[in-house]
Amino acid sequence: MLGLLSAALAACAAGNASPTAAPMPLASPVSQEPAAGICGGTEAAEVTITIYPDIPDPRCAIVRPEQRLRIVNSTVNPLQVSLASFQAEIGPGAEYAFDLPLGEFLAPGVHLVQVLPCCGPELWLKPAQPVSGVPCRR
């Protein structure tokens, strides 16, 4: 009898539980430092990479976890773009903005934006810096 009561209570509790979304696993970086010699960053909320024929601009970008990414196609052909589990086709002269902040799907380190048929940039996701405050006095 006790077993039936336990099973009934467990079923009841399961029926009233609210679903929770599991966090998206973070994509692993390809390295901890970029191959490109120069890697710049921006303080803007959105990082823009423009794909020109044969070259992305910039070729490497330092990004923060809270920033978002926009890819602009400045070629005359459509581009297939992928980063982590996201994929998009960007028409000539069009652009694509990723919905999520980069830190929600990329682990810290260097990630390659795959761009077909050409070349893609490196994104160097640096971990969030802790806020420094006034040291505690004891």
Residue-wise pLDDT tens digits, 90-104? 999 999 999 999 999
- What mean pLDDT is predicted for residues 33-37? 77
**8 pLDDT above the threshold of 50:** no
Q: Name the residue among 105, 97, 34, 104 with its Cα closest to residue 70.
A: 97
Cα 96 from chain centroid? 14
| Cα 10 to Cα 125: distance, rounded to the nearest angstrom | 43
**Which pTM does this prediction carry?**
0.74
Q: What is the pLDDT of residues 60-87, one digit of tens each?
A: 999 999 999 999 999 999 999 999 999 9
CATH of 44-121, one of 3.40.50.300, 3.40.640.10, 3.40.50.150, 2.60.40.420: 2.60.40.420
- pLDDT tens across 123-137, in order? 999 987 765 555 545
Domain edges within the chain = 44-121
CA distance 99 to 118: 24
- 3-state helix vs strand vs coil in the chain, percent to 5: 15, 35, 50
Instruction: Calculate the alpha carbon distances from 64 to 8, 69, 83, 128 in Å.
Output: 48, 10, 16, 7
